[in-house]
Structure formats: C-alpha cells, structure tokens
Structure 1
Amino acid sequence: MIMGLDECTIKSFQKLVLEESKCLPGPNSSACSICLSEYLSQETIKCIPECKHCFHAECIDEWPRLNDKCPVCINSATPVHADYVNP
C-alpha cells in the first residue's frame, strides 16, 4: 500500500517564486527532476523540507499525496519538527 502525506503537510512545503538569478536552496540542478525542464525566472517552485530538493510546484503537487519519499533522494519528505513526540 502506498502511503502519502496529508494536505496540511504538503501545504507546509516551502514555496517560492524564482528571481532572475534562479538561485535555489539546497542541492538542486537547474532543471526540475520530474519534468526535466529548466527553471525559468518567475516560476513557482516547492522544496521538500528535509532534503531541500526543489521542483516546479505543478510537478511536485501530486507526488507527496501518493508517496512520502523525495523523488530524487528517496529520503522522507515528512518534515521533522522539534516538538513532535513519537507515540
């Protein structure tokens, strides 16, 4: 069974609009790993909180609903919060 993330968690992913420099946080290339298109200025991207891999917002929006792992590094896409207590 495939386990995805809840909508609140998905909405918490960092979202930003690229400026002319197209500078991305984290270990990212100049292209989206899902659609393989280069990032352009003024495009909206989302970053997975734990690994900082970024994608076009429209490309990554469906992925975490179906899978709780980053499509690039396969690490958990679930944000780790300091106040979270494992039951």
Structure 2
Amino acid sequence: MGFPVGYPEVSVPKVFLYILSLLAFLRSLALSFISLLHLSDLLDTDFSAATLPESNSHRPTLSAILICEFLPVVSFSKIAGDSPPSGCAVCLNEFAGEEEIRCMANCRHIFHRTCVDRWIDHDQKLCPLCRTHFVPDHKMEYYNQRLWAASESEDDVSLFSQRA
C-alpha cells in the first residue's frame, strides 16, 4: 500500500508566507516598543533601596556578614610602608592613599574593600587568589558558633513573621 500517485504536493502560497513574516515582524516591533516604554518608566522612578522589590535587592548572607567582621578595614596609607602589592588582584587597579582595603587574616593578601566585599557577598569563603579560608584558623570555631546562633535567631524571626 502507499500513497496513490495522483495526489498533488502540498504547497503553501508565497503570499501566506509573506503575511506570516510580516506578522512576526510587527509582533517583535510591538514587543520592543512595549519594553522601551517600560524602560522609560523605570528610568523615571527613584531607585532607592526602599522602592526596589525584595526579590531584586541583594541581601548578603549571614556568613558574609560574619566574615566581614573578621576582616578589618584599613586605609592603604597605613600599610604602605610594609611593601604591599601595588594593586588589587580583583579589579587590577592600583592602591592609592586613603582607599579602604581589607587584609586577609590567614594569607595576608590585600584587596580593595569593595572588591572583596562583593566577592564575599556571593557567599565565597576563600581568598580569590590562593583559596585560603577568610576566617583565621584560630577563630573558626567561634565563627561557626556565631553563624549557628545567628541562623537560629533568623529562623525564629521568620517563623514569628509567618504567624502574624
């Protein structure tokens, strides 16, 4: 069995294809116009932390907050005499004058405070250069205890807010 020989081929008229192409183009044009209008509305609004939705604002994790407590912030001019490296290994910019830097406790690498804080905010717990832990070895148990206590208190707050 099979198809009879007399069936003509299925053909789509070119006009139909042109109409479909035109409709697709108009659809993409309309969507880009709508996104452009939405973008202009966003540019007109004030972007303070209070107006951004909670899902778009980035909150650092508890471990990131605790790690930042363990790593002191000093100005570059205070350690300039100790012959530190001349630039930040994260952003590759030179250190200068009164810029805030963080010195890693275990490995002694130094970075701009903003550069390494961004790294830590992404829940990184290791030095970006040598992968040594940020938290000093002798304070690791204290760090774990504080992290555990802070996570318990945060769970209590979220449970309380769900009941209300």
1:72 aligns with 2:129: yes
Look up the equivalent residue of 1:9 and give its one-letter code: I
1:37 is aligned to: 93
Aligned CA-pair RMSD? 3.0
1:8 is aligned to: 66
Aligned-residue identity in percent = 26
2:141 is aligned to: 84
Once the two structures are superposed, residues 6-38 of structure 1 have per-residue CA deviations (whole angstroms, 9 ceiling, x without a partner) of 41222220211122872357xx42000000000
Question: How many matched pairs?
Answer: 82
Structure ID, larger Rg: 2
Q: Which runs of 5+ in 1 are unaligned?
A: none
Aligned equivalents of 1:82, 1:59: Cα separation in 2: 23
Are 1:18 and 1:41, in contact at CA under 8 Å, matched by a contact in 2? yes
1:51 is aligned to: 107
Aligned equivalents of 1:41, 1:80: Cα separation in 2: 31
Are 2:70 and 2:135, in contact at CA under 8 Å, matched by a contact in 1? no
Length-normalised TM-score, structure 2: 0.42
Once the two structures are superposed, residues 52-78 of structure 1 have per-residue CA deviations (whole angstroms, 9 ceiling, x without a partner) of 111011111121232111001111122
After the TM superposition, which parts of structure 1 deviate over 6 Å for at least 4 consecutive aligned residues?
none
Q: Which runs of 5+ in 2 are unaligned?
A: 1-61, 145-164
Higher strand proportion (structure 1 or 2): 1
Q: 1:19 aligns with which of 77, 85, 93?
A: 77
Aligned equivalents of 1:21, 1:49: Cα separation in 2: 14
Which SS does the other structure have where 2:88 is aligned?
coil
Aligned equivalents of 1:24, 1:62: Cα separation in 2: 26
